[in-house]
Structure 1
Amino acid sequence: MGFFDFVKDAGRKLGIGSDAPTPEELRAEVTKLGLEAKDFTVDVKDDIVTVSGTAPSQEQREKIVLALGNVHGVAKVEDRLTLAEGAAPAAAATPAAANAAPESRFYTVRKGDTLSKVSKEFYGDPNKYQAIFEANRPMLEHPDKIYPGQMLRIP
């Protein structure tokens, strides 16, 4: 997927007393969220996080990148994750459809945004906010708890 830019000063702080998260803290965050990848590695250099391994699906891949990037002190995530052979997103009917499935769009929350407002912008219907909420679980715990600078998956 490449490089993803994030708002360095937004997001949850990990650890104690330092703005720079460690690879161990970032791996623990991904594990805590129930996200997984085979041979999962995280490297941190300054404010750039490099992640590699094999994700079981495109959805898991995107969520891992967002979980790492939406941490205070992370400005970029270099995604070197690959997809497991035959990996299928939840909506794909066949493995062939999974390989052709497009990546999600991403949106950075601005001041005053709500999931309903973002839903109206992308889908033309503010009542479809639940699709965005579900696409960002477990990183989002409640539809009303988003913050400026946070990046969201838009399926």
Structure 2
Amino acid sequence: MGLFSFIKEAGAKLFGGSEAQAASADDLKKELEKHQLNAEGLDISVDGDKVTVKGQAANSEISEKIAIALGNTLGVATVDNQLQVAQATPESRFYTVVKGDTLSKISKEMYGDPNKYQKIFEANKPMLTHPDKIYPGQVLRIPE
């Protein structure tokens, strides 16, 4: 899938972690499980602010969600997504949230229709729990 870039200073702070301390592979697996993404059989390695993930994913959507969940973690600047997908599906576009963004505003920019924000929300579940809970620096999947 490739290399994904994130804003290192933005993202979820893992339990017991700090900005200066990189998350461990075990912490990142727990983060995936928190988002109901199966981390079983995944090989996650951390080298400074770069995370590499290898293994199998059911499809491109799951692979993208895993990369985003890992990257939207405080202290992670890049995710090298080397997951193999069992069933290839069209890849999504990605969008980095900036100050003042709403899902409606992003939807208007990406689809030309602000009322399609629910499509973006659904594509980013379970990482997003509410359409109004996005933050600057967060990377979102934008499906076709």
Aligned residue for 1:118, secondary structure, equals helix
Matches within 5 A, 1:113-128: 113-128=101-116
- Higher relative contact order by CA 8 Å / sep ≥ 6: 1 or 2? 2
Specify the alignment match of 1:46 in structure 2.
Answer: 48
- Could you list the runs of 5+ residues in structure 1 that have no partner in the other structure? 88-98
Contact 1:15 1:21 in 2 (8 A): no
Larger radius of gyration: 1
Aligned residue for 1:107, secondary structure, equals strand
Specify the alignment match of 1:93 in structure 2.
Answer: none
Q: Distance in 2 between matches of 1:15 and 1:47?
A: 17
- Could you list the runs of 5+ residues in structure 2 that have no partner in the other structure? none
Q: Distance in 2 between matches of 1:18 and 1:119?
A: 33
38-47 vs 14-23, which moves further? 14-23
Q: Distance in 2 between matches of 1:53 and 1:60?
A: 12
CA drift of 1:17 comes to: 4.5
Specify the alignment match of 1:28 in structure 2.
Answer: 30
Instruction: Evaluate the alpha carbon distance shift between residue 3 and residue 76 of structure 1 in structure 2; reply closer, same or farther with a 3 A threshold.
Output: same
Give percent identity, aligned residues only. Answer: 60
- TM-score, normalized by length of structure 2? 0.94
**Amino acid paired to 2:15:** G
**Amino acid paired to 1:136:** N
Aligned residue for 2:29, secondary structure, equals helix
Q: How many residues align?
A: 141
Cα RMSD for the two superposed structures: 1.1
